[in-house]
A and B are shown apart, each in its own frame.
Chain A
Amino acid sequence: MGDAMGDGMGDAVRRVVIIGGGSAGWLVAAVLAVDHAAATAEGLQITLLEAPGIPPIGVGEGTWPSMRDTLRKIGLAEADLVRDCDAAFKQGSRFDGWVSGAAGDHYSHPFALPQGYTEADLVGTWLARHADQPFAEVVSFQPRLCAHGLAPKQVTTPEYAAVANYGYHFDAGKFGLLLRRHCTEQLGVRHVCDEMIGVQSHANGDIASLQTRAHGALAADLFIDCTGLPSLLLGQHYGVPLVSQRQVLFNDRALALQVPYPQPDSPIASQTLATAQGNGWIWDIGLPTRRGVGHVYSSAHCSDDAAEQALRRHIRASGGPDDLPAARQLRFEPGYRAEFWHRNCVAIGLSSGFIEPLEASALALIELSVHALSAQMPATRAAMDIVARQFNEAFSYRWERVIDFLKLHYALSQRRDTDYWRDHTAAASMPERLRELLTLWRHRPPSHYDLACIEEVFPSASYQYILYGMGFRPEAGSRRREDPALAERCFQEAAALAARMRPALPGNRALITHIQRHGLPKI
């Protein structure tokens, strides 16, 4: 199909087609629709093309607290999320067996910042006076709430408001369905359920339209590829290559199982449990109706059979049944695309890259991508190449930081029990920038100076939780001195908060049951 304008430059961007109906596609549709008034005649026209009967990928069921802002922004009731998506509250992660692999080896990465994070020398004072206790438990009240399976808020706390910072665990398939209903019924998004059978291009190489089986050609000014791992537009149509990160993060397969609770009212864990294995790690996520458990591992180090045996051992040891069906397998090449926005096509979600689901980075990157896209939505085709360049620079940076941050979980391990851990701790597998940061952190804690972006994927406090949780100890001899009394007051405040919150907060399950019955107050 030709273009009367020749190269199409200067045309206003008025129509967007999103291809792919998973949580990425519908989240993109919702945010764009709200920000760009899709429900009005003057607004952006948004169409989502979804192939019928494509099963959603069952990983990435954890979110960061940023999801609360995203959902509030698109006007979804939090009670609907809890009721319709099998959602539970997540206050962070616990890492078992990552430091030494010995019994009792664990540390926490809570979502709440350390008490008085920017006000006092917490790290220096902790090292000098409390280094015998875990860092996260000295500086934050939250690990104590998680240890008791408590909810992050009370029944009277308004929707999306927190007593203790939180994100979610949910069923990503159901999340996509809830967003779909919200987008089509409330936000003016057009939904086309059909299969794409071809791509038509303008002479300049821009995509002109997507050819469908029954709905003809869907023309648009901007196309958003949310097709998941197949990356139909960016990867397959444009051939933008994947930059493999296998040399840094080896995990390339996952086996996932749904595990029923022993009782309908069994407690729901308040945090993601990540248990290190000989050749990978196992995620364990508590939803209201079941646990989602999976083993992500390196096929270069471990056979599928051995991985499945390790998964079943973990499930048995954690009180799950023996007679579960076969695990579902996912294979992926760890890495991200060389660029994410090419010509008039942006990839968001797994189509732009996928890395093991440690630290719930997948949904966090989707949120960052759609907010960046929405804020920078080019008004014309002429503006699009400039926006695309900015977007590509920003997200290459973010992917690199995700890789660095995930590698930090492995790089400091004392485990040498398998080739997997020996390879993970070998200098050759370390990204250059992480190596530099670790050099700096020998003398001072991670800070915002190390993370120069306005919207970093992970805050500097998270680097501190992982670094000191993994047993990293800086060298003595910093001349910088701050008043330890100030830090001690922060530690006391954290302990006092934990003591005050414990009797006042319901259990995670009790709050979810209450919300399912009564909803949440809006104010």
Chain B
Amino acid sequence: MTNTVLLNNVDHHDLRLRTQRSAAWGDGVMLAHAVPAEFRELQAHYPIVFQKSADGTTFHPVALLGFQDGQNLFLDADGWDAGYLPLAIEREPFLIGRDGGELLVHVDLDSPRLSRSDGEPLFLPHGGTTDTLERINSVLLALHEGLQATPAFVAALLAHDLLESFVLDVEQPDGSQQRLAGFYTIAEERLAALDGAALAQLHRAGHLQAVFMAVASLSNLAALIERQNRRLAGGA
């Protein structure tokens, strides 16, 4: 399914990136991995929740884009209907790989987002990088740094017992129930009960703002349900 190689301006000199947002290019996903550094931007549009890792040992934050596998309620015929694109979406189909101590851009050549005929070029005619690739570089770097910082953030949440399991039952327009389960949110009661020393500790470590951004983001759940209702009503 994937064919990841080191990006270079010889083999890939004519590679182009399709920057439109579409399920056809792989954007039909219900969630995007998120990093605390972008919570401020994310919370303006998306609910931020937490998912348990497959081995049960830790959690990672995600932005919710839909309520079931493959459903992205921010995608429509005109593209992505929100003012901020999660880093983990925007970076596709590029990723950072390590070669010795050096961070290098890799690319998944099997991605439908790539083309040799249409889209934005990645390299200039003489091998320099285009603004498009510069942008990708900065997105990858921000994501990489964010992922480095996430374990400490999650460890702090767990240390203060600030995550709790959450289940959302969504009533569909036809009266049937849809259940979103398996996600975790900030435990607001326990957050409100933290004493000054615990708050100061979270603040000094740089986690406090992200905690409250995650809390604020949950007001987007109602908007996400509304998006789904509109879609079901419109038959789209």
Hey, which bits of chain A sit against chain B, CB under 8 A?
Answer: 154-158, 514, 518-523
Contacts and interface: CB of A to CB of B under 8 A. Distances in A.
A156 B165 CA distance: 12
B165 A523 contact: yes
A518 B158 contact: no
B57 A518 contact: yes
Interface string B150-170: 000000001001011100000
Interface stretch (B48-56, B132-140, B195-203): B48-56
Nearest to A158: B165
Of residues A157, A520, A523, which shows the largest number of chain B Cβ atoms within 10 Å of its Cβ? A523
Given A155-B56, A158-B165, A523-B164, 12 more contacts: A155-B54, A156-B52, A156-B53, A157-B56, A514-B55, A518-B56, A519-B57, A520-B56, A521-B56, A521-B57, A522-B158, A523-B184
B186 to A, nearest CB: 12
Interface string B50-67: 001111110000000000
Contacts of B55: 155-156, 514, 518
Contacts of B163: 523
Nearest to B51: A156
A523 B190 CA distance: 14
A157 B54 CA distance: 10
Of residues B52, B54, B165, which shows the largest number of chain A Cβ atoms within 10 Å of its Cβ? B52
Contacts of B184: 523
A312 to B, nearest CB: 41
Contacts of B53: 156
Nearest to A155: B56
19 contacts: A154-B56, A155-B54, A155-B55, A155-B56, A156-B54, A156-B55, A156-B56, A157-B56, A158-B165, A514-B55, A514-B56, A518-B55, A518-B56, A519-B57, A521-B52, A521-B57, A522-B158, A522-B161, A523-B163
Contacts of B52: 156, 521
A520 to B, nearest CB: 7
Nearest to A154: B56
Contacts of B161: 522
Nearest to B182: A156
Contacts of A522: 158, 161
Nearest to B52: A156
Interface in B105-129: none
8 A-B pairs closest in CB distance: A156-B56, A155-B56, A518-B57, A521-B56, A156-B52, A155-B55, A523-B165, A523-B163
A414 B7 CA distance: 76
Interface in B56-90: 56-57
The SS class assigned to the A binding surface is loop
B33 to A, nearest CB: 17
A285 B164 CA distance: 36
A514 B56 CA distance: 10
Contacts of B54: 155-156
B155 to A, nearest CB: 13
A155 B164 CA distance: 17
A452 to B, nearest CB: 36
B73 to A, nearest CB: 26
A182 to B, nearest CB: 19
Interface string B180-207: 0000100000000000000000000000
A519 to B, nearest CB: 7
Of residues A154, A156, A518, A519, which shows the largest number of chain B Cβ atoms within 10 Å of its Cβ? A156
Contacts of A157: 56
Contacts of A156: 52-56
A41 B53 CA distance: 43
A471 B56 CA distance: 43
B105 to A, nearest CB: 33
A518 B52 CA distance: 14
Nearest to B57: A518
A258 to B, nearest CB: 31
B181 to A, nearest CB: 13
A19 to B, nearest CB: 37
Interface string B25-61: 0000000000000000000000000001111110000
Interface string B3-17: 000000000000000
B196 to A, nearest CB: 24
A235 B222 CA distance: 66
Contacts of A520: 56
B200 to A, nearest CB: 24
Contacts of A158: 165
Nearest to B187: A523
A154 B53 CA distance: 12
Contacts of A519: 57
Nearest to A515: B56
Contacts of B164: 523
A154 B54 CA distance: 10
B63 to A, nearest CB: 21
B39 to A, nearest CB: 20
Of residues B55, B56, B161, B163, which shows the largest number of chain A Cβ atoms within 10 Å of its Cβ? B56
B154 to A, nearest CB: 12
A468 B195 CA distance: 57
A157 to B, nearest CB: 7
A522 B53 CA distance: 13
B50 to A, nearest CB: 10
Contacts of B57: 518-519, 521
A196 to B, nearest CB: 42
A514 B161 CA distance: 23
Interface in B202-216: none
A520 B184 CA distance: 16
